[in-house]
Amino acid sequence: MRNEEIEDLVERLAVELGRGLSLEDLDGVLLAYSANQAQADRVRVNFLLSKRVPADVSAWQLSHGIAAAVRPVVVPANTELGMLGRVCVPLLVRGFRVGYLWVQQDAQEQSATAILAQLPQVRNSLDLLATLLLDSNTAESSQRRAREQQFLAAADGDRHAIEVVSEWPEIRQRGPWQAATVYAAPGADPASQPLPKPDHRAAGDPLAAVLVHRSAGLQATVGMDDALFSAGLGSHAVMLFRATQGRTVHAAVLKRYEGELAKRTGVPASRVVMGIGEPFGSLRALPAAYRESRIAAQAAAVDPVLGTILDVRGAGVYEVLAGGQADPEDSVYFRLIRARGDSGELFPVLELLYDNDGAVAGIADRLHLHRSTVYHRIARVRGIIGADPLAGRVRLELHLALKAARWAARPRI
């Protein structure tokens, strides 16, 4: 970490503002502080001694929205905590959150107006401070970047990269392995849509997106013995695990990954999923396993029923659909139902009916409907298509078309 440069800059900012400053990372760990301050409240003194924000102080600060803020936030005084008012300045680089600078009010100040008026004058110094923090980030170190690029090249099938990665101490003789793809879905949870719409969102800042996934992947796997390596791309993270039967470690990594994303972007993802490929005993099989993990992650992203952690063998028909082109519009039965204004009521009943072997009672409970309503909707489908939707070939065609419609909405990862 570029400690001296960061500490010197914090001192210069404190002199320029004429106020006490402290710099902390996203986890509330002290990184730097100004040495001289006429007035220091109990919270600041304890923070400088312990090097970490106490839980009660952190809760007070977070309650004022600092985790999602992109502009300075006024955090009022709290007499119970022994805390004067202060201003939190979120430090961001290209939308990537790297830390917080805290500016303390004087005891006689009734508001933070004077601090807010001063901050625009030191904007360049604040931007420089954010950049220095980014450069000190472990995930942004040149050595880490080079290793991630080599790992991703191996996952894409580069033979030389595969040979190099296979000799890494953390990977060599620790097989068999499994590849995993972690994807975070933005916006509304796909479970809220019977058939999700294709994701054609315009990409934001690609460099910032890569850094977010790289950092989240690294922090989520630190200290997890079975999580051997991670790398980030613009849309997802790629991880290598030791092959295990259980999924406890994977669930822990996924939870931490979700938390890291929220910390660094300020916007919680609606749903974070992990796809896992088949176990393999030779790194030469890494590219195929990575492809399997992407298919599983895509399937989990479009079909919430499959869960947030999905092995490729549980992807079912989606693994088949990944092998070629399948258009739901090729089914005349699908088109007839889709053309109806009530298709949003009919498609969920059909899909659950096919997914659950025709168990009407369970479908009624899942959709919060009366059983007679389920039967009535099946009858409506029969009338629309002029065929029995439960008959073998009709059922197969409609079920495949419904899954193809979901697959069409998969994230491109």
Distance CA 181, CA 152 (A): 12
Q: Across all residues in the chain, what is the average pLDDT?
A: 87
Q: Say if residue 305's pLDDT is above 70.
A: yes
For 304-333, b/e burial (b = at least 16 CB within 10 A) is bebebbbbbebbebbeebbeeebebeebeb
Q: Say if residue 182's pLDDT is above 70.
A: yes
| Per-residue pLDDT at 355 | 85
- Three-state SS letters, the chain: CCHHHHHHHHHHHHHHHCCCEEEECCCCEEEEECCCCCCCCHHHHHHHHHCECCHHHHHHHHCCCCCCCCCCEEECCECCCCECCEEEEEEEECCEEEEEEEEECCCCCCCCHHHHHHHHHHHHHHHHHHHHHHHHCHHHCHHHHHHHHHHHHHHCCCHHHHHHHHCCCCCCCCCCEEEEEEEEECCCCHHHCCCCCCCCCCCCCHHHHHHHHHHHHHHHHCCCCCEEEEEECCCEEEEEEECCCCCHHHHHHHHHHHHHHHHHHCCCCCEEEEEECCCECCHHHHHHHHHHHHHHHHHHHHCHHHCCEEEHHHCCHHHHHCCCCCCHHHCHHHHHHHCCCCHHHHHHHHHHHHHCCCCHHHHHHHHCCCHHHHHHHHHHHHHHHCCCCCCHHHHHHHHHHHHHHHHHCCCCC
| Per-residue pLDDT at 188 | 46
| Per-residue pLDDT at 189 | 46
The mean pLDDT value for 357-372 works out to 84
| Per-residue pLDDT at 25 | 87
User: Mind listing the pLDDT tens digit for each residue in 183-239?
Assistant: 998 654 444 455 665 554 445 677 778 888 998 998 898 888 899 999 999 899 999
| Per-residue pLDDT at 197 | 59
**Contact 301/172 with Cβ under 8 angstroms?**
no
**Angle at CA of residue 255, ends 251 and 256, nearest 5°:** 120
Those residues whose C-beta lies under 8 Å from the C-beta of residue 375, and which sit 6 or more positions away, are 360
State how beta strands 21-24 and 96-104 pair. antiparallel
Amino acid in position 316: G
The mean pLDDT value for 355-360 works out to 80
Least confident interval from 112-121, 157-166, 169-178, 323-332: 323-332
User: Mind listing the pLDDT tens digit for each residue in 137-149?
Assistant: 666 667 788 889 9
| Per-residue pLDDT at 192 | 46
Those residues whose C-beta lies under 8 Å from the C-beta of residue 382, and which sit 6 or more positions away, are 388, 389
| Per-residue pLDDT at 140 | 62
Largest separation between any pair of C-alpha atoms in the chain: 84
Of 20-29, 157-166, 364-373, highest mean pLDDT: 157-166
User: What is the percentage of the chain residues whose pLDDT exceeds 70?
Assistant: 92
Total-model pTM: 0.67
Distance CA 411, CA 236 (A): 10
Given pLDDT bands bounded at 50, 70 and 90, which one contains residue 379? very high
Q: Say if residue 381's pLDDT is above 50.
A: yes
Q: Say if residue 117's pLDDT is above 50.
A: yes
User: Mind listing the pLDDT tens digit for each residue in 249-303?
Assistant: 999 999 999 998 888 887 777 789 999 999 999 999 999 999 999 999 999 998 8
At 394, give phi and psi (nearest 5°): -65, -45
Beta bridge partners of 310: 275
